Amino acid sequence: MKILKSSIILSLLIMVLYACSTEPEVDTVKPEIDLNISGAFPVNCDTLYFGEPYVIKAKLTDNVELGSYNIDIHNNFDHHAHTTEVLSCDDLEPIKETTNPYVFIEDFTIPEGRNEYTTNLDFTIPSTDNDGNEYQDGDYHFHINVTDKQGWSVQKGLSIKIKRR
């Protein structure tokens, strides 16, 4: 009986002590996307043109090691909001119906062992789809998603315009 009681109390004590001991270091820091570097592209409210070559440039950093990144472009003809936009662009076109919007979703690798990486991605928006139909111009959202090796992820959404010259 006594032994039982004291062993329970002892194990409780050990638990409490263990709980109070210092936590081991784990990576709880998410990666970051920096668009304030010189030559960053695109930035909020930029206008891109169909058929013209661009270089996507963003600085990605993490406290330990970066994972991969992903770019997603989709239309904003309905004026939906994204919380990561620093400021909204004040010259949005009127809301319009979606018929043949341009969509781009692609995943890109980051070399192993990097905690800092600046993208240097050649990028051209085709003017028409495979069937030769013209994509709609207007307001779009440009999203960058970045992960780190631990699986933390961050997103950055920008308002852009895609136009035809």
Exactly one of 42, 143, 160, 162 binds another protein (CB under 8 A); which one? 143
Q: How many CB atoms lie within 10 A of CB 132?
A: 7
Q: How many CB atoms lie within 10 A of CB 83?
A: 6
Closest contact distance (angstroms) between CB of 147 and another protein is 4
Q: How many CB atoms lie within 10 A of CB 92?
A: 14
Assess 155 for contact with another protein (CB under 8 A). Answer: yes
Closest contact distance (angstroms) between CB of 38 and another protein is 25
Assess 67 for contact with another protein (CB under 8 A). Answer: yes
Exactly one of 22, 53, 151, 165 binds another protein (CB under 8 A); which one? 151
Stretch that binds another protein, among 41-49, 63-71, 86-94, 117-125 (CB under 8 A): 63-71
Assess 34 for contact with another protein (CB under 8 A). Answer: no
39 versus 90: smaller Cβ distance to another protein: 90
For the chain, state the CA radius of gyration: 24
Q: How many CB atoms lie within 10 A of CB 34?
A: 13
Question: Which residue's structure tokens are 């004590």?
Answer: 13
Q: Are strands 104-109 and 153-163 parallel, antiparallel or unpaired?
A: unpaired
Distance in angstroms (rounded) separating the CA atoms of residues 84 and 39: 21
Closest contact distance (angstroms) between CB of 3 and another protein is 11
Closest contact distance (angstroms) between CB of 8 and another protein is 5
Assess 138 for contact with another protein (CB under 8 A). Answer: no
Judge contact between 140 and 76, C-beta under 8 A: yes
Distance in angstroms (rounded) separating the CA atoms of residues 128 and 152: 36
Using CB under 8 A, list all residues that contact another protein.
1, 4-5, 8, 11-12, 15, 18-19, 23-26, 28, 66-68, 70-72, 78, 80-84, 105-107, 143, 145, 147-153, 155-157
